[in-house]
Amino acid sequence: MGLEFLGRRVVLVGGGAVSARRAARFLDDGATVCVVAPELHPVLDRLRLDGMIDWIPRAVQPADLDDAWFVHTATGDVATDMLVAGWADERRIWCVAAGDARDGSARTPAVRRAGQVVIGVVSDTGVDPRRSGDVCEALAERVRSGAIDLRPRRRVQDEPGRVTLVGGGPGAGDLLTLRARRALAEADVVVADRLGAIDVIAELPADVEVIDVGKSPGHHPVPQERINEILVEQARAGRRVVRLKGGDPFVYGRGGEEAIACRAAGIAVETVPGVSSAIAVPAAAGIPVTHRGTADGFRVMTGHEVLDERAFAVMREPRTTLVVLMGVGTLARMVDGALAAGVDPSLPVAIVENGTASSQRTTRAPLSRIVDAAAAADVRNPAVIVIGAVAAPGLLDAPEGAIAPAAAAVAPPASRRGT
């Protein structure tokens, strides 16, 4: 049974570590907690000093249970716990006896929270807290993974809808966070871009509505203002809306504009951060945006507009990396401007296409030759451009003379060959 403790009196008998753990859970559920014990565990004493619990500093008496809705006894003495459980029975009060669960009328489950779902596991016979905890954690992990359809089957009348801005990461589905997976499992409708982990859409239940608002260079069939309207309209219809975006919602994802539009319309909006392509795509290609002795900082800019002196200043800083998103279309003008601004023509540049996907590919060249190299390779979006010393080939290669791992360096004894 699920019990509502908000504003109800719970009596904890015993002031030790078990009562301290249980007190926190009852307080989280809004209960009024009273501890009956000659002494208090330091955690309970802090709660008392903070005015969060009441304390009766003596051995328990039958009258202490009066007006209680629930009793938990953990004195460390089985006989006392049995006595308290008997008093609770006489008063028709549910009671957990920590010394031996068979003496009480209730059992404390192992509990894990996974979004709006609370999972509790109890033993059918006997008491085995470790087993219950292991089973509960395994179930919670399954729920957190988004592998279970978490949409409510029974809706509260006039329940307001909500919007969740979800960062889908650079593309690979296994780079979605657990929170992102759970949000998708709770969604009634998904408003999706063309980038990010869009493959997960195929895993959604068939009755989840998917609205495609993806943009491509020079082609924006659904303008941002209309996307904002769609989010508000769907949420006002009482639906749980996930706005699935590539990378992170707040890194050139226009998530801030969508959040403002929702809040202006009185719609609850939550943001689930994503793995940003600005860092993840270079990393997937073996390019660290910072590296000790090479680069101690980085800056992220968008190539939708021709980069200006701010970007060229970064390029002239020898220990700073410049990461350009959505910059393939303006690459030539960016390079011309950089060279005209005095940027070193030999500055390393790497362009990583389709980062984290099976079709990932990296094109490298010095700044002065990167445009020709990109044209020869027919580089296309989506791509991330990395400019700076970290983009040089071989940066992460083992230093010359490094010792190979023992397993690979040592040949089997001659006497064993062929056996």
Mean pLDDT for 401-406 is: 55
Q: Which pLDDT score, from 0 to 100, does residue 46 have?
A: 93
- What is the Cβ-side half-sphere exposure of residue 253, based on CA atoms within 13 angstroms? 32
Mean pLDDT for 249-272 is: 95
Other CB atoms within a 10 A radius of the CB of residue 309 amount to: 9
Cis omega before residue 382 (within 30°)? yes
**Nearest-angstrom CA–CA distance, 38 and 55:** 9
Q: Which pLDDT score, from 0 to 100, does residue 271 have?
A: 97
Instruction: Name the domain count of the chain.
Output: 4
Q: What is the pLDDT of residues 24-70, one digit of tens each?
A: 989 999 999 999 999 999 999 999 999 999 999 999 999 999 999 99
**Nearest-angstrom CA–CA distance, 354 and 92:** 65
User: Is 4 part of a structural domain of the chain?
Assistant: no
Q: What pLDDT band is residue 277 in, cutting at 50, 70 and 90?
A: very high
Which residue from 366, 323, 314 is spatially nearest to 341, judged by alpha carbons?
314
User: Is 31 part of a structural domain of the chain?
Assistant: yes
Are 136 and 48 members of one domain? no
Cα distances from 130 to residues 1, 18, 111, in angstroms, run: 21, 15, 12
Are 263 and 288 members of one domain? no
Single residue among 246, 275, 304 that ends a domain in this structure: 275
User: Is 290 part of a structural domain of the chain?
Assistant: yes
Are 121 and 175 members of one domain? no
User: Is 91 part of a structural domain of the chain?
Assistant: yes
Are 187 and 247 members of one domain? yes
Asked if residues 383 and 328 have their Cβ atoms less than 8 Å apart, the reply is yes
Which residue from 378, 372, 387, 389 is spatially nearest to 353, judged by alpha carbons?
378
CATH number at residue 345: 3.30.950.10
pTM: 0.68
Q: What pLDDT band is residue 400 in, cutting at 50, 70 and 90?
A: low
Are 258 and 287 members of one domain? no
User: Is 102 part of a structural domain of the chain?
Assistant: yes
**Nearest-angstrom CA–CA distance, 197 and 171:** 4
User: Is 284 part of a structural domain of the chain?
Assistant: yes
Are 27 and 85 members of one domain? yes
CATH number at residue 241: 3.40.1010.10
Q: What pLDDT band is residue 396 in, cutting at 50, 70 and 90?
A: confident
Q: What pLDDT band is residue 118 in, cutting at 50, 70 and 90?
A: confident
Are 269 and 313 members of one domain? no
pLDDT of 339 higher than 90: yes
Q: What is the pLDDT of residues 204-224, one digit of tens each?
A: 888 899 999 986 655 568 899
Q: What is the pLDDT of residues 149-166, one digit of tens each?
A: 888 776 667 778 999 999
Q: What is the pLDDT of residues 368-394, one digit of tens each?
A: 999 999 999 999 989 999 999 999 998
Q: Which pLDDT score, from 0 to 100, does residue 129 have?
A: 75
**Nearest-angstrom CA–CA distance, 114 and 24:** 18
Asked if residues 332 and 371 have their Cβ atoms less than 8 Å apart, the reply is yes
Q: Which pLDDT score, from 0 to 100, does residue 414 have?
A: 43
Q: Where are the alpha helices (DSSP H) in 330-403?
A: 331-340, 370-377
Are 206 and 248 members of one domain? yes
pLDDT of 250 higher than 80: yes
pLDDT of 88 higher than 90: yes
Between 111 and 404, residue with greater pLDDT: 111
Are 33 and 86 members of one domain? yes
Are 296 and 229 members of one domain? no
User: Annotated active-site positions, please?
Assistant: 193, 215
Mean pLDDT taken over the chain:
88
Mean pLDDT for 175-197 is: 89
Cα distances from 224 to residues 72, 107, 162, 194, 254, in angstroms, run: 55, 53, 19, 14, 8
SS3 341: coil
Are 52 and 131 members of one domain? no
Are 116 and 103 members of one domain? no
Domain ranges, residue 181: 162-275
Single residue among 275, 305, 338 that ends a domain in this structure: 275
**Nearest-angstrom CA–CA distance, 34 and 43:** 14
pLDDT of 233 higher than 80: yes
Q: What is the pLDDT of residues 285-318, one digit of tens each?
A: 999 999 999 999 999 999 877 678 888 999 999 9
Q: Which pLDDT score, from 0 to 100, does residue 406 have?
A: 47
Instruction: Specify the residue for token string 């202006």.
Output: 264
